[in-house]
Amino acid sequence: GDSVTQMEGPVTLSEEAFLTINCTYTATGYPSLFWYVQYPGEGLQLLLKATKADDKGSNKGFEATYRKETTSFHLEKGSVQVSDSAVYFCALAYDKVIFGPGTSLSVIP
């Protein structure tokens, strides 16, 4: 079946550090891939998406590339800020949308 695996957290980084959150997926077809973010006390918001292999999604300094050969969609940011502290969810979508377990990120000054 379809599933999404993410690196376990929590991840703690200092401000301006480089961020990578790993995401791999298992899919029976060719899904679209998403990263959602949940800030403390809020609902999920779309961060970025990619709809086909080799597409790169980007938003707010975050990037992720759809890698079909490695079934991955790793999230990266070159320089994190305290305001990036949140839980990040990787997801795949056909008619259904399946989320990974989430990775908690804390950025300290």
**Which CB, 17 or 99, lies closer to another protein?**
99
**Which CB, 39 or 94, lies closer to another protein?**
94
CA geometry: angle 17, 104, 54, nearest 5 deg: 70
Q: Which two tokens stand for residue 58?
A: 């980007």
- Each residue 51-70 as x (binds another protein by CB under 8 A) or -, in order, gives x-------------------
Check binding of 49 to another protein (CB under 8 A): yes
Which residues would be at the binding site for another protein (CB under 8 A)? 31-32, 34, 36, 43-44, 46, 49, 51, 89, 93-102
